[in-house]
Amino acid sequence: NWTMVNIVEEQVARVRSEVGAKRVVCALSGGVDSAVAGALVQRAIGDQLTCVFVDHGLLRKGEAEQVEKDFVAATGVSLKVVDAQDRFLDALAGVSDPEEKRKIIGREFIRVFEQAAREVVAAGGAADEPVEFLVQGTLYPDVVESGGGTGTANIKSHHNVGGLPEDLRFTLVEPLRELFKDEVRRVGEELGLPAEMVWRQPFPGPGLGIRIIGSVTRERLDILREADAIARDELSRAGLDRHIWQCPVVLLADVRSVGVQGDGRTYGHPVVLRPVTSEDAMTADWAQVPYEVLGTISNRITNEVPEINRVTLDVTSKPPGTIEWE
């Protein structure tokens, strides 16, 4: 695809002239945008770049492995992985308010990332220069939404790493800021990233933490991770990945209902399927997933995840509903 080749070449040249011989750090979230941005910058400047992946324990099934193995294999990037699962779970213990959760996750992320970035600085690198640049996977719609300026700090806190501490100020490198989501995906393919990575659904920074209605625990995360993996698996199998924008699976962790399975009464939790179609996530319609596919997802989740005994469907558009439940 010549257009994508051109975009890649143009951005590679631009990144090279922007950063010179300086060192660059990139926070990988497990999402498409940061992966493609990181891969592009890697293509441009090789091991002047260090990617940092904070595993906060709120990721989907297989996602951490995908970053640690497939992304590294595809790009040859130098990656620093921080296992911060316990730290995030401790900080989130007993918290069920959505905004409170977001604040805690954002705050812990910045602390962990800051520490990791300092270690990258201390470790020195190929070019013997301090880290001065931070890669952000900002897309064109984000630029428009935040008022269009370039620079250092006008990313809405909703996305990406948000407010970095004063004493750790980077100049941003934003190689995707002229692109829409589908172009980013095609650039990712052009850069040789695995299709499962490039075509996966958007996923919020706070991860599964805002898809558990109630407080976040390791057990609840494990339950939701299994249900989410089944839904994604069946939607992909049905060929719906490119039709649906995303399909959050939400665990109503504080709700229980009575069911029956085998010879016994169950008293388990419901999950909600939230399939939507959208252009840019600003508005969305509930997606008309075929009944057979919904049926298969429901059967599999209730059979394979013992704690879940009911699967429900959210048929609310945005507005008035948001895509996520929290």
- Residues making up the annotated binding site are 29-35
Of residues 23, 159, 200, 225, which one binds ligand XMP by CB under 6 A?
159
Binding residues for ATP: 29-35
By the rule CB under 6 A, 102 interacts with ligand XMP: yes
Task: Decide: 259 and 265 in contact? Cβ < 8 Å.
Answer: yes
Provide, rounded to whole angstroms, the least separation between the CB of residue 111 and ligand XMP: 17
Of residues 194, 202, 214, 259, which one binds ligand XMP by CB under 6 A?
202
Q: How far is CA 272 from the centre of its chain?
A: 20
Q: Which stretch binds ligand XMP (CB under 6 A): 57-65, 230-238, 266-274, 318-326?
A: 318-326
For residue 125, the SS3 value is: coil
By the rule CB under 6 A, 158 interacts with ligand XMP: yes
Site for ligand XMP in 60-89 (CB under 6 A): none
For residue 79, the SS3 value is: strand
Tokens of 1: 């695809």
CB neighbours of 171 closer than 8 A, spacing ≥ 6?
Answer: 132, 133, 134, 152
Residues that bind ligand XMP (rule: CB under 6 A) add up to a total of: 13
Complex with ligand XMP: residue 103 or 256, whichever CB lies closer: 103
Complex with ligand XMP: residue 258 or 315, whichever CB lies closer: 315
Alpha-carbon distance of 266 to 314, in angstroms, equals 23
Q: Looking at residue 153, what DSSP letter applies? A: S
Distances (CA, A) of 270 to 223, 248, 275: 11, 14, 16
Task: Decide: 181 and 139 in contact? Cβ < 8 Å.
Answer: yes
Complex with ligand XMP: residue 226 or 326, whichever CB lies closer: 326
Residues near ligand XMP (CB under 6 A) are 102, 158-159, 202, 204-206, 246, 281, 318, 322-324
